[in-house]
Structure 1
Amino acid sequence: MNHDWDNIKNWSLARGNFHTTGYTIITLDAIGSTNEYLKQLWRDEKAQHGCLVIADTQTAGKGRLGRTWESPPGSGLWMSLLIKPSLSPDKHFAYSFAAAVAVAEAIEQTTRLRPELKWPNDVLLCQKKCCGILLESVTTGSEPWIIVGIGINVTQESFPDALSDTAISLQQAHAAPVHRLQLLQNLIPALQSNFSSDSREILIKWQSYCRMFGAMVSVFQQDSVMEAKAVGLAPDGGLVVENEGKRIKVYAADVKIRLKN
């Protein structure tokens, strides 16, 4: 077991309770998926608001649109957080943006690098993805709960060939050691602060980290691809794009920024 993970476990034991951090922290050496593990805890009524599960490695990490997320041991923050939303159901989309802002703030505080955010919730450094976020809803009767899955590449020195052109770690971008515990200690208060903000404030902060507006993008929806210009963010979290003189709001899609030659 690596030294950095020992530090996270020891810190979590010493301070990882609701009264000192606002979260109840569970650390796991290995798990299939932190989202699935936390979901089962919730089903078994063993998890409440603020339950945070962190693993040193995931063997079946989950990404958006049914993708898997590479989660090797000793290399990242792989975590899931259970929240009982304070926002009304029509504003729940804002939690995805709030998580992205919190990650960006924590990365900036830890490394002094300013990340960029790409719709809907990718976190980029050097135009490559360093963090993915996946929200899943679970419901008890009429009460909705949300599981926020976050995967941050921290110390990787390289990635598999299939990811090498699109993925990056904080350590690669920073060109200096980055400690997972320090990142976690910065991330927890950032999550608490942003999850307690209203949706308008969250979207304003998200846009301050976004550099994709005005850029040409490829919008992938099911079996179709649309080339368009990203022009803004709608109040309900949709991406506003312009195609052939018409403005369209996009919701469930994969968006890639077309780099200038």
Structure 2
Amino acid sequence: MRDLFYIKECSSTNDEILRFLLYGKSDFISLYTFNQTGGRGQYGNSWAIIPEQNLAFSLAVNSLNFKISDSLFNYYTASIIRDFLASLTDSPVEIKWPNDIIVKGKKVVGILIEKKNAQSKNYYIIGIGINILQEQFSEISNAGSLFTQTGIRFDLNQLTQSLYSTLVKRLSNIPSDEEIMEQFNLHLFRKDKISVFETAQNRQNGIIRFADEKGELWIELEDGLQSFYHKEIKLLY
């Protein structure tokens, strides 16, 4: 049964979806809009979209249905979105740790996964913002859209329907922990390439080697291999 709800406008689909849980009949309840006015990104970052050009999409799933860790759930979700866009666009698509999606060098998707209690159940709320038709990103030099990166004008509603179906199918069949990690690292943005990183102390060159199952990123810096959690280091690109 499809539980895919549409709302013309809202502040944040990750917040609004909670009241739609009462009406859902399946294990995959989703809410989307093409006009989100106050979306959130990871760790308090904002995620705003231009009306009728981009997608704000949230999916609520009962966390008890998943026997993997929060970090692996995050990685697997990012891999699903990466695979979906790679198939849709036939373009190079990568995952910028921990869960931004990069198409041809530009950030096109932001993902925010939160755990919330509602209706006496614990849910993963998967928030996905996809830039689809937007053409100008004057204030964010490393952002792009599916249109700017591929030249394809996707139909917003068709893409949303396909995204929902893909998430339901893939989240209904969780692979092993080892396969999740292998696939995530296979498509890791800037892996094994010299990149510039910024910490609270300095800026230096380094090479991303791998992400681990605890949610840390391992980077070979000038003084050796080190691990970092999100926000402890910034990749400049």
TM-score norm. by structure 1 comes to 0.78
2:36 is matched with: 58
Letter in 1 for 2:15: E
Change (3 A) 1:27 1:224: farther
1:36 is matched with: 15
The alignment partner of 1:71 has SS state of coil
206, 230, 242: which one aligns with 2:184: 206
Deviation of residue 41 (structure 1)? Answer: 4.5
CA offset digits 1:38-79 (Å, max 9, x no partner): 23545xx55573110001111101111211112121111211
25, 38, 43: which one aligns with 2:4: 25
Contact 1:234–1:249 under 8 Å retained in 2 = no
Matches within 5 A, 1:98-177: 98-139=76-117, 144-159=122-137, 161-163=138-140, 165-177=141-153
Contact 1:38–1:82 under 8 Å retained in 2 = yes
Matches within 5 A, 1:205-224: 205-215=183-193, 216-220=195-199, 223-224=200-201
User: 2:202 & 2:116 partners in 1: Cα distance?
Assistant: 31
Letter in 2 for 1:102: I
State the identity as a percent: 23
In the alignment, structure 1 segments of 5+ residues that lack a partner are 1-18
Contact 1:106–1:183 under 8 Å retained in 2 = no
Change (3 A) 1:88 1:140: farther
Higher relative helix content: 1
Letter in 1 for 2:10: I
Letter in 2 for 1:88: K
TM-score norm. by structure 2 comes to 0.85
User: 1:189 & 1:208 partners in 2: Cα distance?
Assistant: 24
CA offset digits 1:145-201 (Å, max 9, x no partner): 210000000001112x211x1110101111132222332233223322432313332
In the alignment, structure 2 segments of 5+ residues that lack a partner are none
User: 1:217 & 1:38 partners in 2: Cα distance?
Assistant: 38
Contact 1:119–1:255 under 8 Å retained in 2 = no
